[in-house]
Structure 1
Amino acid sequence: MTIALIAFDGSENALRAIDEVLDTMDTSKLHVHLLYVCEPVQVNELLFSQDPVLTMLSINKAHEESGWTLLASAQARLESAGVAFDAYVRIGNPAEVITDFSREYHCDLIVMGTRGMGAIKNLLLGSVASKVIHLTEKPLLLVK
């Protein structure tokens, strides 16, 4: 049994990553952990709030709900292919959450789409994919 973590962000590249897994792996021996990671609440979102804790909780809940909405298309693809999967929404730094999750759930492979930002923009901003490359010891399949 192969356990694959598909880090899904709702992008076209993330959908292509799912298709790549379905096209190239033996789906009868595959279990997928489908993961969407929400960015944590930013300080500037709390600046003018009368109750920062309540505001943070409501923003986190809204982020989490939108994550579940984004996962719907990915879940539908996996269901129609007959692949066993579990879906998760987490909050935190995406690269760190993906890496920690892959260790915690003993994933054999991490699969994710790239945004194709290019070298210069990647140097300035970084990307989740390049951060995961540096943080993980797991095999990583990046799909553009």
Structure 2
Amino acid sequence: MYDNILIPTDGSEQAGNAIEEGIRLAEQLGATVHALHVVDEFEAKIVPITGAQDQKRQEYIEYGEKITGEVAGVAADAGVDCVTAVQTGIAHKKIQAYVEDHDIDMVVIGSRGLGGVEEMLLGSTADKVVRLVDKPVTVVYKRPTESLQWMLPSAEDTVHR
């Protein structure tokens, strides 16, 4: 029933929560995890003033490869197969396309828990994914266990923020 579970990740604490839950589900269901990082199209274009746009874009891609690789490592430790991908674009649109293109059965995504005016003005990727993806979506919002604390970004790892 659930053979492929997509876990989008941006390296945040909330993504760590989704990784934990998604891998646990995949382990129980015998599913393959797909770890996807989307380099934000807007952030990748914001640095042309410095003349370092290509270098900065490459840093964003390398960061995405690093965090999806870490997801693959956690999945391997749990005995779960994992496919990794890094794409550039608008997160919710890339997630929706990935679901359609890779026979994804379920999405497990973290929520930053935006509320009030901020949520109304900006929306959230998780909210957009829930509304747009035609598959079950589990939104996870909780504190990560100590076992995943190492995955939280440090100051030198947050190139995309």
Smaller-chain TM-score bracket: 0.7 to 0.9
2:92 matched to which residue of 1?
Answer: 95
Q: Which of 43, 62, 65 is 2:59 aligned to?
A: 62
Structure 1 alignment gaps of length 5 or more:
50-54
* C-alpha distance in structure 1 between counterparts of 2:82 and 2:69, whole Å: 13
Indicate if the aligned counterparts of 1:36 and 1:90 stay in contact, CA closer than 8 A. yes
Listed as ranges, the matches of 1:30-45 within 5 Å are: 30-40=31-41, 41-42=44-45, 44-45=46-47
Larger Rg: 1
Aligned in 2, Cα 1:85/1:24: closer, same or farther, shift over 3 Å? closer
Aligned in 2, Cα 1:24/1:86: closer, same or farther, shift over 3 Å? closer
Aligned in 2, Cα 1:122/1:65: closer, same or farther, shift over 3 Å? same
1:98 CA displacement: 0.4
The count of residues paired between Structure 1 and Structure 2 equals 138
Indicate if the aligned counterparts of 2:22 and 2:33 stay in contact, CA closer than 8 A. no
Structure 2 alignment gaps of length 5 or more:
142-161
Three-state SS of the structure 1 residue aligned to 2:113 is coil
Indicate if the aligned counterparts of 2:75 and 2:82 stay in contact, CA closer than 8 A. yes
Aligned in 2, Cα 1:26/1:63: closer, same or farther, shift over 3 Å? closer
Stretch deviating more after TM superposition (57-66 or 96-105)? 57-66
Indicate if the aligned counterparts of 2:107 and 2:136 stay in contact, CA closer than 8 A. yes
Q: TM-score, normalised by structure 1?
A: 0.85
Indicate if the aligned counterparts of 1:28 and 1:83 stay in contact, CA closer than 8 A. no
Residue 106 of structure 1 pairs with residue 126 of structure 2: no
Three-state SS of the structure 2 residue aligned to 1:32 is strand
* C-alpha distance in structure 2 between counterparts of 1:89 and 1:25, whole Å: 21
Aligned in 2, Cα 1:74/1:26: closer, same or farther, shift over 3 Å? closer
